[in-house]
Chains A and B, each alone.
Chain A
């Protein structure tokens, strides 16, 4: 989609990415600062200032990393599939880049959720891993991210990779509600939701606030890294277009 030799001159397509480059240039330092502050305050509150749990003791502190990572794993996948759909339907070049740039961030959050979950499961449940519906569906999410990344970069022409991987992202979207509701639909070793549930949070305010602050830090981190990655993608495409123009005149 980007600049096959005949279309190099149609720079109007880059109008929007150019505008993105301008305003993201100002936004990135702000996002970096906000992320740093949120993590500093959030980690201190979560790891030092918040109370231990009446059942789990100090081990509960793993929650402040595990839960935001798992939320962001789902959020990033939904954002990726949404951006991929916009790119697929309206051929918006920036949407394809946002989807592509989100995938590795989401994969990293998913891996973080899986690893911290295993570290938490060993002392609390007595096992690193079980094949229950929640854990298995999150592992599937991780493989969907990896599949998306592989398919996206499997073609010489980036437009075809974006199309093929967008379809994969949309197919995989059915897994998102399965992950969320797996703990309600089936007996799982993983406990049901504590925060986002109909009856209101089942978590004391002294632990809920640091958790929400950590979630805000993770979200801010995502938008920061996303902006940096999308800028990199746009510049890579500009370089590619320049090279093509040099080669074909």
Chain B
């Protein structure tokens, strides 16, 4: 075997083994890389105690209620399960019903008490006139459908 063939084999085998190691590593850490949990994860998980976690999904349509001062109550849904959230503070500009949201806080008696709320937008971009005409033509896919499609199905 010529020396350059040896080097080629060395590099090919090296990159192959490294990719395999990376794939095994990634599948092993799996869900722990997730930035947030879905309401379904929360429902299946049982007692979380006083752990600070993030829950993400879509702001359920018609669920936003303004309380006293800067208090806001809304539900976060993944279209299978939903969880009520209470938050006191300033919401990001993109926060609205039907749009993605990630809340950080603690679950207390079935209510998620958030200390930080971040907006999460989906991958759709279009001019306002196009969105308007889609709605008028009745071909508008409801935001929840579009938003839910932008979320990984099971966290992988």
A interface with B by C-beta (< 8 Å): 51-56, 60, 63, 85, 88-91, 123-127, 130-133, 170-171, 173-174, 178, 184-189, 191-194, 197, 202-204, 206-207
Partner of A123, one of B14, B18, B31, B93: B93
How many chain B residues touch the partner (CB < 8 A)?
47
Closest to A193 in B: B123
Chain A contact residues: helix, strand, loop or mixed: loop
Q: B139 interface residue, CB < 8 Å from A?
A: no
Contact with A along B117-131 (1 / 0, CB 8 A): 111111111111111
- Complex CA distance for A56 and B132, rounded to whole angstroms: 15
Closest to A130 in B: B35
Chain B contact residues: helix, strand, loop or mixed: mixed
Q: How many A-B residue pairs have CB under 8 A?
A: 130
Contact residues in B for A206 (Cβ distance below 8 Å): 127, 130
Q: B67 interface residue, CB < 8 Å from A?
A: no
A133 touches B119 (CB 8 A): no
- Complex CA distance for A115 and B4, rounded to whole angstroms: 42
Contact residues in A for B126 (Cβ distance below 8 Å): 53-54, 203-204, 207
- Complex CA distance for A191 and B123, rounded to whole angstroms: 6
A178 touches B22 (CB 8 A): yes
User: Which of B42-50, B68-76, B105-113, B147-155 lies at the interface?
Assistant: B147-155
Tell me which of A126, A133, A193 has the highest count of chain B C-beta atoms within 10 A of its own C-beta.
A126
Q: How far is the CB of A45 from chain B (nearest CB, A)?
A: 14
**Which 10 A-B pairs have CB atoms at the shortest separation, nearest pair first?**
A126-B92, A51-B127, A54-B131, A132-B35, A204-B126, A187-B34, A203-B125, A194-B123, A174-B22, A54-B128
